[in-house]
Chains A and B, each alone.
Chain A
Amino acid sequence: AQTVTQSQPEMSVQEAETVTLSCTYDTSESDYYLFWYKQPPSRQMILVIRQEAYKQQNATENRFSVNFQKAAKSFSLKISDSQLGDAAMYFCAYSRYSGGGADGLTFGKGTHLIIQP
């Protein structure tokens, strides 16, 4: 079974600075998908960014980018120019899809991101 590990329970950053959230995963698959979700205090689960393992290029969405290292099974999230609205719990997730078998996501335990004004 796949596992996802987020080793930073909490991170704090000054507004406008850059912060990187770590995520590692374990899988024996060669083709898979990874996601970062944001959960603000409202509890909504909001997709931040996704990465397909067969793509070598790191995904980017505005101020959010990933550093995907397939060999190291690492998938970190970089947030540039941090804003107060970025304060939330961030979850790294691995897609369990297996071509007709399992589905859904395996989540890490989350990183609570605090933005200092």
Chain B
Amino acid sequence: EAQVTQNPRYLITVTGKKLTVTCSQNMNHEYMSWYRQDPGLGLRQIYYSMNVEATDKGDVPEGYKVSRKEKRNFPLILESPSPNQTSLYFCASRSGGRGNQPQHFGDGTRLSIL
């Protein structure tokens, strides 16, 4: 089954404790993105990747890191999480070519930073 898998689905942690949210897709997609969703703000892009070792900032990259060492994986790293990073996070991927290919989303990760 074609899917984007995020882990964990839920996490409660404390300020300053490094955490990683994993994202894996089994569709051989070139493009991957991370978004955060906050009430009243919709989804905002954090980082995106066009292929292995090719990543770039989205609209809200501060406080986050990403890497793309393998095509299928695109982890999101919070080196020193803060309460303002409490949010719902989505990973997404799409196939290459023009931008008409739809994004396939993971089921989301609910992060709470105390």
Binding partners A and B: yes
Q: Mark A93-117, 1 if CB is under 8 A from B, else 0.
A: 0011110101111111110000000
Query: Which A residue sits closest to B57, measured CB to CB?
Result: A102
Among B40, B50, B58, point to the contact of A109 (Cβ < 8 A): B40
Chain A residues within 8 Å of chain B by Cβ, number: 26
Whether A103 touches B31, Cβ cut-off 8 Å, given contacts A43-B88, A50-B100, is yes
Whether A52 touches B103, Cβ cut-off 8 Å, given contacts A45-B90, A102-B48, is no
| Bound: A33/B43 CA distance, A | 17
Whether A96 touches B42, Cβ cut-off 8 Å, given contacts A103-B31, A104-B33, is no
Among A43, A50, A102, A107, point to the contact of B102 (Cβ < 8 A): A50
A110 partner residues in chain B, CB cutoff 8 A:
42
Among A32, A100, A105, A109, point to the contact of B103 (Cβ < 8 A): A105
Among A33, A35, A102, A105, point to the contact of B98 (Cβ < 8 A): A33
Is B105's CB under 8 angstroms from A97's CB?
no
Residues of A1-33 whose CB lies within 8 A of B: 6, 9, 32-33
| A84 lies within 8 A of chain B by Cβ | no
CB of B54, distance to nearest CB on chain A (Å): 10
Whether A43 touches B107, Cβ cut-off 8 Å, given contacts A103-B99, A107-B42, A109-B42, is yes
Is A91's CB under 8 angstroms from B43's CB?
yes
B48 partner residues in chain A, CB cutoff 8 A:
102-104
A32 partner residues in chain B, CB cutoff 8 A:
99
